[in-house]
């Protein structure tokens, strides 16, 4: 399958058309941003780690009955995916307080939440991805009530499956962000990526951060943490 025109370039990936209108090629970059693009850098090898890790996870989720855009891995940085139109929402699930949740609600990082939380942000860089609630999503026709139900179900299932899975490789799933897309027959499926860019992942024993917070917070050993996550996921 050949890459045709560049359809979209985001902060971490490029999406290309192919000769088949039902399929796109995603190409992962090493570039990293944080705080809505304010902090910019490069994490050497990140494109490969995120591509390979995301593909392993999407295949695992598929086995659990969660439909994803994954079709086949083309090479270390590129994957063939089902063409979808991305629902402009960042869907965030949290098990433990961290990041913007800790900041917004004044809850110390690391506090276990009594139950997982589900939150939505509008995917709009110019607006800084503001939080949005379900009535606002419906009022703006960003999703239908049925789609929202489906999105919440997918997010909850992904959390269950991945929390258990990461536990077996000695990692605590603190929180994560997913994106979903509409196929051309109107089905909502999991899209984008699941990687150390989009999850908080802490070593179960030491609490060491094995995710993009190492870059966000200048903690060092950024590349090593990404490689460590890929090693653990690959060995499973």
Q: Which residues bind ligand TMP (CB under 6 A)?
A: 92, 98-101, 129, 175-177, 197-200
Nearest distance, CB of residue 177 and ligand TMP, angstroms:
3
- Beta bridge pairs of residue 172: 202
Task: Say how far apart CA 234 and CA 56 lie, in whole Å.
Answer: 8
Q: What's the min distance (Å) between Cβ of 199 and ligand TMP?
A: 5
> Is the CB of 176 or the CB of 215 nearer to ligand TMP?
176
User: To the nearest 10°, the Cα dihedral for 45, 48, 49, 53?
Assistant: 180
CA distances from 4 to 8, 15, 23, 24, 181 (A): 12, 10, 11, 9, 21
Give the three-state DSSP class for 203. Answer: strand
CB of 183 to ligand TMP, least distance (A): 22
Closest approach, Cβ 7 to ligand TMP, in A, equals 20
- Closest CB 129 distance from ligand TMP, rounded Å: 6
Identify any residues that bridge with 176 across adjacent strands, giving them in sequence order: 93, 199
Q: What's the closest the beta carbon of residue 176 comes to ligand TMP, in angstroms?
A: 5
- ∠ CA 98-99-100 to the nearest 5 degrees? 120
Residue number, 104 or 146, with CB nearest to ligand TMP: 104
Q: Which residue is nearest to ligand TMP (CB)?
A: 99
Q: Which is nearer to ligand TMP, 32 or 199 (CB)?
A: 199
Nearer to ligand TMP, 55 or 195 (CB): 195
Nearer to ligand TMP, 15 or 17 (CB): 15
Give, for 102, the enclosing helix (H) or strand (E).
helix 99-105
Q: What's the closest the beta carbon of residue 211 comes to ligand TMP, in angstroms?
A: 7
Rounded-to-integer distance, Cα 13 and Cα 46, Å: 11
* Interatomic CA distance for residues 148 and 186, integer angstroms: 13
Which of 37/145 has CB closer to ligand TMP? 37
d(CA 14, CA 149) in angstroms, rounded, equals 29
Q: Nearer Cβ to ligand TMP, position 16 or 215? A: 215
Spatial separation of the C-alpha atoms in residues 203 and 167, rounded to whole Å: 9
């Amino acid at each position: 399958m050949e890459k045709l025109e560049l359809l979209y370039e985001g902060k971490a990936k490029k999406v290309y058309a192919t000769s088949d209108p039902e399929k796109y090629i995603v190409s992962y970059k090493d570039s990293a941003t944080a705080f809505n693009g304010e902090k910019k850098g490069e994490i050497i090898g990140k494109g490969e780690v995120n591509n390979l890790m995301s593909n392993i996870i999407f295949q695992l989720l598929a086995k659990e009955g969660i439909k994803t855009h994954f079709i086949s891995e083309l090479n270390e940085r590129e994957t063939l995916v089902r063409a979808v139109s991305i629902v402009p929402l960042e869907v965030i699930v949290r098990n433990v307080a961290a990041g913007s949740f800790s900041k917004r609600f004044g809850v110390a990082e690391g506090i276990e939440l009594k139950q997982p939380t589900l939150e939505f942000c509008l995917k709009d860089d110019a607006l800084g991805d503001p939080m949005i609630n379900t009535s606002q999503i419906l009022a703006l026709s960003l999703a239908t009530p049925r789609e929202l139900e489906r999105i919440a179900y997918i997010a909850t299932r992904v959390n269950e499956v991945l929390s258990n899975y990461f536990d077996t490789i000695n990692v605590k799933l603190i929180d994560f962000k997913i994106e979903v897309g509409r196929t051309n027959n109107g089905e909502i499926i999991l899209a984008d990526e699941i990687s150390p860019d989009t999850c908080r992942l802490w070593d179960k024993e030491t609490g060491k951060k094995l995710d993009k917070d190492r870059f966000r917070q200048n903690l060092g050993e950024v590349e090593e943490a990404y490689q460590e996550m890929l090693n653990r996921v690959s060995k499973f």
